[in-house]
Structure 1
Amino acid sequence: MSDDVNQDLLAEQWAAALDDQDDDPIGDLGNFDDIGGGAGGGEQPQNMSQNEALAEEWAAALAADEQEDVKKEKEQSLLSSKASQAEFKDLTEDAKAIRPESGKHELDFILDIPLDVSAELGRTRLLINELLQLGQGSVVELNKLAGEPLEIFVNGKLVARGEAVVINEKFGVRLTDIISPIERVKQLA
């Protein structure tokens, strides 16, 4: 029951505050001491002085914010007036100019880069169980037919096709077809 009485008292105080709000935009809502069972409306002059002090603080804070905004705008206009359009030298002609010595030197530094070259006879897929059952003399079927060209890969990219040859008792590959740059780009996609 005491909760109902407190709620009724709170509702009455809110209604009174809303009625007084027409005269003062901040009204009695600025002081919450009397809400919840305190003294009624006997503190009206004190509330007004607190509300006026609060309003003055708000006005001072807003004025300070406006001064900061004006100061920032002045700084921005000063900086923008000092800024100038950047001018760059046109390097198109220098880039197009052929330097006879530089052509050879530009490629020299990449000639010693090592590459992995591999020749692939064919491929297949095995399960781990099938791989474990392989032994000496086992035959693994590949996806290529007999007589099809080998594929030559450089760093994992197909660059040529060829046929297997034996030279001085070692296997080798005779290149029969070089992949064009356009085909290499198509394979990347």
Structure 2
Amino acid sequence: MNQTSAEQQADTAADIPEEQLNRAIEELRGALRDEAGKASDDSSRHERQATPNAAVVMNIPVEVQIVLGSTEMQVSELLALQQGSTVALNRRIGEPVDVVVNGRRIARGEITVLESDPSRFGIKLTEIITAAKPA
């Protein structure tokens, strides 16, 4: 059976030791911090400084989630949900949302409308989490 490119990359990710992935994540975080204070034309300098560890993981797909909030409910409440039901979350409007990559919270940010497409929204990062912990 032939594997798709994404499946092959996922298999590759499973073969990389967690310590190496964590090191690469820290390097990427450092690059994000550097970029926050510099103009976008510095990007070629960061590419030249990339380490072999970063090169290994650059093409591996990761799952990125923006967590608006969560709630707890009983199974009976869950089964009673239907189209049009409202589920109250544990966060209020204006509170930061979490940016989670492969189950680890890496940043927090605020929801914003995209200037290039006002019909879509995105996240403006306000904080990079230095010690990533499972979400």
TM-score, length-scaled by structure 2: 0.55
Give 1:130's aligned residue. Answer: 77
Distance 2:50 2:129 in 1: 25
Matches within 5 A, 1:32-181: 104=50, 106=52, 107-167=54-114, 168=117, 169-181=119-131
Which runs of at least 4 in structure 1 moved beyond 3 Å after TM superposition? none
RMSD over equivalenced CA pairs, Å: 1.8
Distance 2:113 2:83 in 1: 24
CA drift at 1:136: 2.2
Residue identity over aligned pairs, in percent, reads 40
Give 2:36's aligned residue. Answer: none
- Are residues 125 and 113 of structure 1, via their aligned partners in 2, closer, same or farther at CA, if it must alter by over 3 Å? same
Distance 1:164 1:172 in 2: 6
Higher relative contact order (CA 8 A, sep 6+): 2
Structure number with higher strand proportion: 2
- Which secondary structure state, in structure 2, belongs to the residue aligned with residue 129 of structure 1? helix
| Paired positions, count | 82
CA drift at 1:161: 0.3
Deviation sequence 1:99-148 (CA, Å, 0-9, x none): xxxx7561322210111110000000122211121122211111112210
- Are residues 104 and 122 of structure 1, via their aligned partners in 2, closer, same or farther at CA, if it must alter by over 3 Å? closer
- Are residues 112 and 135 of structure 1, via their aligned partners in 2, closer, same or farther at CA, if it must alter by over 3 Å? same
Return the letter of the residue paired with 2:122.
Answer: G
- Are residues 108 and 162 of structure 1, via their aligned partners in 2, closer, same or farther at CA, if it must alter by over 3 Å? same
Structure number with higher helix proportion: 1
Deviation sequence 1:56-92 (CA, Å, 0-9, x none): xxxxxxxxxxxxxxxxxxxxxxxxxxxxxxxxxxxxx
- Are residues 105 and 173 of structure 1, via their aligned partners in 2, closer, same or farther at CA, if it must alter by over 3 Å? closer
- Larger CA Rg, structure 1 vs 2: 1
Return the letter of the residue paired with 2:59.
Answer: D
- Are residues 178 and 105 of structure 1, via their aligned partners in 2, closer, same or farther at CA, if it must alter by over 3 Å? closer
